Amino acid sequence: MPNANDRAIVTTRVFEAPPELVFDAFSDPGHLARWWGPDGFRTTTSLFDFRVGGVWRFVMHGPDGHDYENHVTFDEITPPQRLVFRHRVDAESPVHHVTTVTFEDLGGRTRLTLEAEFPTAEQRDLLVREHKVDEGGRQTLGRLAAFLDADLFTISRRVDAPRDLVWKMWTEEQHLARWWGPKGFEWLSGSIDLKPGGVFLYGMKGPTGAEMWGRFVFREVVAPERLSYVNSFSNPEGQITRAPFFDNWPLEVFNVMTLAEDGDGTILTLRGGPINARPDERDRFRSHHSSMEQGFGASFGQLEAYLKEVG
């Protein structure tokens, strides 16, 4: 794409995931090992210190058998909007290029811009001409898209109710008590503080009598069209706990719920994925997409029944 800086290579892509999930893919070497680099490359990390001034030291293994040493220093970390880091071959070598990554929120989607700035325009042109680094950037973002698609859970449902009413169903405790949760669970109690940083804490009793508690920590509240939050299992005091069914279920799942008007009805779409999660936790989440679809499908069925009841 055209760029005023003739020393830079700029690559842009829109991802079907919110900025928090896209940013999280950069934050852990286990995630980066699954997508960093052009097609056919593998990445082995020996040091990863994700803080301003911290270092990421890794080797990229090319499909031709060559290994490429990399030494990255993080200059700016502003989640989930911006990353800036410097690339060298090693700690003593001059800076090869500076990368700036920006994450633009598109309402549940993300426009990511990757800008690599080189010391001279001649160096940039040489790398494009002889090493196709511009194509390598596009391939890298393609691998990131595949990584995010694999982890992201999405479910959508149209309900025969106006958007303002559906919003109330999601944001008022007296309504949530009538439909939220797995099928067959009994509502115990709940409290909701509907603001960024506020918490929705709720408790339910299962068919066997066992209690289950959970919480939302709200990130965005844009009535009546968008709600984003971090969902976790908890204890009655609202402290994060492990899931009662798996010890490697992610502790935190970031969700974006959007409501779109559709004639007299509303299209509800929920997208979610793990954040701050280990690779095995992400694997566990990914392997249960189908069961989550059934579970949320049943909950949305309860929502539809309740909407008919309240008219």
214-231 pLDDT per residue, tens: 999 999 999 999 999 999
Average pLDDT over residues 168-190: 95
- The pTM assigned to this predicted structure is 0.82
Q: Are residues 183 and 101 in the same domain?
A: no
Q: Are residues 160 and 213 in the same domain?
A: yes
Q: What is the pLDDT of residues 143-158, one digit of tens each?
A: 999 999 988 999 999 9
Q: What is the pLDDT of residues 230-260, one digit of tens each?
A: 999 999 999 999 999 999 999 999 999 999 9
Q: Are residues 190 and 142 in the same domain?
A: no
Q: Are residues 163 and 296 in the same domain?
A: yes
* In-domain check, residue 1: no
Question: Up-side HSE of residue 261: CA atoms within 13 Å toward CB?
Answer: 8
Q: Are residues 105 and 118 in the same domain?
A: yes
Q: Is the pLDDT of residue 210 over 70?
A: yes
Which residue is listed with tokens 């479910």? 155
Q: Are residues 127 and 217 in the same domain?
A: no
Q: Are residues 233 and 104 in the same domain?
A: no
Q: Are residues 165 and 306 in the same domain?
A: yes
* In-domain check, residue 2: no
* In-domain check, residue 220: yes
Label residue 295 by pLDDT band (50, 70, 90).
Answer: very high
CATH code of residue 129:
3.30.530.20
- Cβ-based neighbours of 36, under 8 Å, separated by 6 or more: 43, 60, 140, 143
Q: What is residue 90's three-state secondary structure?
A: coil
CA 108/CA 151 separation, integer angstroms? 15
- Selected residue with higher pLDDT from 2 and 72: 72
Considering 133, 151, 169, which residue would you say is the last residue of a domain? 151
Q: Are residues 113 and 159 in the same domain?
A: no
Which secondary structure element, helix H or strand E, spans residue 201, and what is its range? Answer: strand 199-205
Q: Are residues 25 and 82 in the same domain?
A: yes
Distances in whole angstroms, Cα of residue 126 to Cα of each of 9, 23, 130, 204, 214 = 12, 30, 6, 62, 54
Would you state the pLDDT for residue 131? 81
Sign of the alpha-carbon dihedral angle for 219, 222, 224, 226:
negative
Note down the domain range covering 25.
Answer: 8-151
Q: What is the pLDDT of residues 100-145, one digit of tens each?
A: 999 999 988 899 999 999 999 999 999 888 889 899 999 999 999 9
